[in-house]
Amino acid sequence: MSCAPASKPTSRPPASCSPPAISPKAPAPWCRRMSENRPMSADYKATVFLPRTDFPMKAGLPDLEPRLLRRWADIDLYGRMRAAARGREKFVLHDGPPYANGHLHIGHALNKILKDVIGRTQSMLGKDADYVPGWDCHGLPIEWKIEEKYRAEGLDKDQVDVVAFREECRQFAAKWIDVQREEFKRLGVVGDWNHPYTTMTFKAEATIAAELGKFLMDGSLYRGAKPVMWSVVEKTALAEAEVEYHDHTSVTIWVGFPVVKASRPELDGAKVVIWTTTPWTMPGNRAIAFGAEFDYAVVEVETVEDGALAWPGQRYVVLKDQIEQVAKDAKCSFLLVATLTGADLAGTVCHHPLKFHPDADGGYDFDVPLLAGDFVTTDTGTGFVHIAPGHGEDDWQLGVANGIAVPDTVQPDGTYYPHVAIFAGQAVLAQGKNGKYYSPVAKPVIEAMKACGNLLAHGKVEHSYPHSWRSKAPLIFRNTPQWFISMEKTGLRDKALAAIDATRFVPDQGRNRIRSMVEGRPDWCVSRQRAWGVPITVFVEKKTGQPLREQEVVDRIVAAFMEEGADAWYTSPPSRFLGNGRDPADYEQVVDILDVWFDSGCTHAFVLEGDTWPNLRAPANLYLEGSDQHRGWFQSSLLESCGTRGRAPYDAVLTHGFVLDEDGRKMSKSLGNVVSPQDVVSTMGGDILRLWVTGSDYSDDLRIGQEILKTQVDIYRRLRNTLRYLLGALDGFTDAERLPAGDMPELERWVLHRLTQLDAGLRRACADFEFHGWFTELHTFCAVDLSAFYLDIRKDALYCDTADSPRRRAARTVMDILLDTLCKWLAPFTCFTAEEAWLARHPSEDGSVHLETFPDIPAEWRNEALAAKWDAVRAVRRVVTGALELERAAKRIGSSLQANPLLYVDGNLYPAIADVDMDEVCITSGMLVVEGQVPDGCFILADVPGVGVLPRPAEGEKCQRCWKVLHEVGKFSHQGVCGRCSDAVDRLAGSAE
């Protein structure tokens, strides 16, 4: 067994006999805190290098951030960032445009902060990553706002000039762009805010028209007829995104369709029973669908109850499993006559149940065939679905597949066309006195069916039903002429699928998601019967009904739009576009506008291409939006670009989840769980919100609430105080003090090694666009490695060593590297605080950390062997601190400097600590390290075998300067201090002269 004192001998002899040089700034007497047994001791506080900085502990972000934003504007930081990036490799993150309507919500904040973080990390990796924000301006929500205003003034929109109306919409969008711009900037998002793109600039409108022209010219744009979700209140077709589902009470009817041609003898004289919740669609009925796999039954009415509409002896065909339910609904009992499968029904033909109505006048004199439909289900109804091809997607497809013409029955205002027998002019939907919508024609239909003897029953049902997201009125499916882009004519679907395969998706599940949507989607309906948008710039030749496909015409339209905006479509005579050779009377000018998804799908064309923003280029490296945009912008952009350019407009697509409350529920006003970014920013600060984004796994849904934000504030405080301490420690640091890494103690080299690990992690995180794991690591580094370990240990050298001590110089060199590195690493994330700290270190008129790039961490700092050794040192340290804790609990010691323990380390771990100052590492006044077995009675930790600590109090006097308790104290020229401190005081006095 060998004994080795771990403390370095203090060999410096007493220096001089001169009295201690005490700084004139010696504290006032009330600060005196000397122990009573050393009444004559001096106060050495002024000779200690305490941290000094103006960087405040309390951030005051709500005040600080606007100040920094003003500074950045004053020094044109954005312009200088662009200048600094000139010539570098480009990284283009193309902004998905938010809708310019209303204040930002937390989802906007997440999206834009994430974009900003990625843009900034790419910049700091040394790329040219310009960010041009954009806005989506056209569309129904704004149009509706203006209409609302008109209604409030008692005006009808139709009385207002369309160009004037569009101008109001434009002003409205412009107003909200200004509001949102300021809100985004407040979040610290950096970009070309003075030159954002919008979908309503003349150039954008012209480009959109030009892009549409490409689909026109290649034949994929066509006019078709299709039932679409239609609002009779707004008199327009609605996009999928504009539809909401709410409960709605509908009248239901059971109707028997008399069989006129039976595929099987059992069906002769029977009626096929359908059930529907939309009686108003009965005039549009043209077929009946059944499930080929299901079992059906022919039943005969045996008895009837009061109020039943059937009569004994009548035969009906229904789904076998629903016999009892239908009997109950029809208030009668059935006898089973025959059973047959769905397939047996093929070929059966019925006539319309209203064919023999006295007022029918031949209007319902047509065959109603039974057709197999795979959408038929057995859980509700009768197993038969009435098919009105003009009133449903399934209906339409089945009709088209079987060559059935799609009838037009309902006019745009929701009334039947004059040609509709019995019901002409009646409304299918109206608002009752109680404000609820109902179908006024339900009753007449019931009466008509009754009159024909074909009504079996009627009732009411409450069910989820589509409603207009704005007017909240129920919607109908209505057959309308619409413009479509074919998914097949030019192979658009295949091109899009190939492009999906060629795109990187982060996370990868996004690929399947968009793929399955593109695989199954119908042709793209791009028309809207509205006013605020880019018109469908097409002329239809009256003679042929075909759109005019003429490039010169397209070019003239585009040129006009470029000069005057899309209003030119409304203000110019058609001859201006048609040219001299054509008679405008021969053409119909289309007045529909484009779906706003087509607008935003074209942003790549007018933002990334061309020279308006020379820092951008197509295709974009990245599109980044919420996961709902698989259906929206990711797809509209993909289809537009594949149709016109044969490839996706992006190389990679990143999606993030949705923001939920702390319990994982959707935010809603009614639940009162809405967190607004404006509130967070004004009470806690933008950096807190940015920290929340950075620390969250945004590939999935993420949560926010008071507790989560409080956690972010705590994390922020740790980062801030680490920066603050480093700033204080570096007070007066100059390059002359710097020491090369090779000359540093192991502890410093270990810190540098940790930086190489974190650096590698950061670069990985940037490449993967995934920061939360790395950020946790960085925070742990600050809290555990720096604050609790490295900085704590180095306080002694920092405060008490002489200014030229290599140990102190090494520490300050590393702290400078740490501060520099932390500021730069934090810059993309907590952009305000990083700047604040940077400026505290490098005061300057126009400097900024955001003009920097990530530091180059020298590869030679990496030292795995050293790291392994220091892992062992820290394990031993834990045993010591654990032992001291018991002493503290027993009131034998307070601070660890009051201890001078005996440390036993066996042969396994001893080599790791043999040449380490364990008293320095453990912050004790001394330590005796013994290599060998741990004797009984020592403090041990189960997970650090072979290490034992025998705590002992430090003996001697407490050095008044460094607080170590040492025997040598008092034996030097200065009173009450150790040799090192006495020397340091001398040096200080010398340099002060």
Partner RNA sequence: GGGGGUGUAGCUCAACGGUAGAGCGGGCCGCCUUAUAAACGGCAUGAGCGCCGGAUCAGCGCACGAUCCCGGUUCGAAUCCGGGCACCCCUACCA
Residues in 56-85 that interact with RNA by CB under 7 A? 57-58
- What is the x/- site pattern for RNA, positions 713-732, by CB under 7 A? -xx-xx--xx-xx--x----
User: Which position has the token pair 């200014």?
Assistant: 803
Determine if 786 is a binding residue for RNA (CB under 7 A). yes
Q: Supply the minimum distance, in Å, between the C-beta of residue 31 and RNA.
A: 6
Kindly state the DSSP code that residue 707 receives in the 8-state scheme: H
Q: Supply the minimum distance, in Å, between the C-beta of residue 33 and RNA.
A: 3
Tally of CB atoms within 10 A around 278: 22
C-alpha 130, offset from chain centre: 20
Only segment of 78-86, 776-784, 815-823, 944-952 that touches RNA (CB under 7 A): 776-784
Only segment of 8-16, 74-82, 339-347, 784-792 that touches RNA (CB under 7 A): 784-792
Determine if 438 is a binding residue for RNA (CB under 7 A). no
Return the residues of window 245-304 that contact RNA according to CB under 7 A: 245, 252, 274-278, 289
Identity of the residue, 197 or 799, whose beta carbon is nearer to RNA in the bound complex: 799
Q: How far apart are the C-alpha atoms of 963 and 22, rounded to whole Å? A: 17
- CA angle, residues 183, 187, 189, in degrees to nearest 5: 100
Pick from 392, 619, 677, 979 the residue near RNA by CB under 7 A.
392
Q: Supply the minimum distance, in Å, between the C-beta of residue 779 and RNA.
A: 5
Determine if 889 is a binding residue for RNA (CB under 7 A). yes
Number of residues that bind RNA (CB under 7 A): 107
Return the residues of window 827-886 that contact RNA according to CB under 7 A: 878, 881-882, 884-885
Q: Supply the minimum distance, in Å, between the C-beta of residue 14 and RNA.
A: 20
Return the residues of window 623-682 that contact RNA according to CB under 7 A: 627-628, 630-631, 657-658, 660, 662, 664-666
Number of H helices, E strands in the chain: 30, 35
Rounded to a whole number of angstroms, the distance between the first and last alpha carbons of the chain is 52
Q: How far apart are the C-alpha atoms of 387 and 398, rounded to whole Å? A: 8
Determine if 933 is a binding residue for RNA (CB under 7 A). no
Identity of the residue, 181 or 703, whose beta carbon is nearer to RNA in the bound complex: 703
- CA angle, residues 677, 683, 689, in degrees to nearest 5: 45
User: Which amino acid belongs to residue 453?
Assistant: G
Determine if 940 is a binding residue for RNA (CB under 7 A). no
Only segment of 336-344, 461-469, 554-562, 967-975 that touches RNA (CB under 7 A): 461-469
Return the residues of window 796-815 that contact RNA according to CB under 7 A: 799-800
- What is the x/- site pattern for RNA, positions 337-376, by CB under 7 A? --------------------------------------xx
Cα–Cα separations (whole angstroms), residue 189 to 183, 565, 828: 9, 30, 10
> Of all helices (H) and strands (E), which one includes residue 496?
helix 492-501
Identity of the residue, 240 or 361, whose beta carbon is nearer to RNA in the bound complex: 240
Identity of the residue, 175 or 710, whose beta carbon is nearer to RNA in the bound complex: 710
> Of all helices (H) and strands (E), which one includes residue 403?
none
Cα–Cα separations (whole angstroms), residue 717 to 358, 714, 777, 782: 83, 5, 16, 11
Peptide bond into 98 cis (omega under 30): no
Only segment of 363-371, 380-388, 525-533, 614-622 that touches RNA (CB under 7 A): 380-388
> Of all helices (H) and strands (E), which one includes residue 202?
helix 202-217
User: Which amino acid belongs to residue 197?
Assistant: Y
User: Could you tell me which of 956, 964, 903, 961 has the C-alpha nearest to residue 928?
Assistant: 903
Only segment of 352-360, 505-513, 844-852, 927-935 that touches RNA (CB under 7 A): 505-513
Determine if 89 is a binding residue for RNA (CB under 7 A). no
Identity of the residue, 546 or 683, whose beta carbon is nearer to RNA in the bound complex: 683
Return the residues of window 744-773 that contact RNA according to CB under 7 A: 772-773
Q: Supply the minimum distance, in Å, between the C-beta of residue 936 and RNA.
A: 19
Peptide bond into 619 cis (omega under 30): yes
Pick from 74, 76, 182, 240 the residue near RNA by CB under 7 A.
240
Kindly state the DSSP code that residue 902 receives in the 8-state scheme: E
Q: How far apart are the C-alpha atoms of 336 and 323, rounded to whole Å? A: 9
Determine if 25 is a binding residue for RNA (CB under 7 A). no
Residue 897 and residue 963 in contact, taking contact as beta carbons nearer than 8 Å: yes
Identity of the residue, 828 or 976, whose beta carbon is nearer to RNA in the bound complex: 976
Q: How far apart are the C-alpha atoms of 425 and 429, rounded to whole Å? A: 12
Residue 64 and residue 54 in contact, taking contact as beta carbons nearer than 8 Å: no
User: Which position has the token pair 């995934």?
Assistant: 770
Question: If phi over 0 gives left and psi between -120 and 50 gives alpha, with beta otherwise, what is residue 219?
Answer: left
Question: If phi over 0 gives left and psi between -120 and 50 gives alpha, with beta otherwise, what is residue 255?
Answer: beta
Return the residues of window 955-984 that contact RNA according to CB under 7 A: 958, 960-963
Identity of the residue, 101 or 960, whose beta carbon is nearer to RNA in the bound complex: 960
Identity of the residue, 69 or 921, whose beta carbon is nearer to RNA in the bound complex: 921
Identity of the residue, 200 or 385, whose beta carbon is nearer to RNA in the bound complex: 385
Identity of the residue, 413 or 707, whose beta carbon is nearer to RNA in the bound complex: 707
Q: How far apart are the C-alpha atoms of 555 and 537, rounded to whole Å? A: 11
Pick from 25, 33, 86, 433 the residue near RNA by CB under 7 A.
33
Residue 985 and residue 44 in contact, taking contact as beta carbons nearer than 8 Å: yes
Only segment of 94-102, 295-303, 704-712, 906-914 that touches RNA (CB under 7 A): 704-712
Identity of the residue, 169 or 715, whose beta carbon is nearer to RNA in the bound complex: 715
> Of all helices (H) and strands (E), which one includes residue 826?
helix 806-826
Only segment of 362-370, 732-740, 890-898, 906-914 that touches RNA (CB under 7 A): 890-898
Identity of the residue, 381 or 535, whose beta carbon is nearer to RNA in the bound complex: 381
User: Which amino acid belongs to residue 436?
Assistant: K
Q: Supply the minimum distance, in Å, between the C-beta of residue 632 and RNA.
A: 8
Return the residues of window 515-554 that contact RNA according to CB under 7 A: 516-517
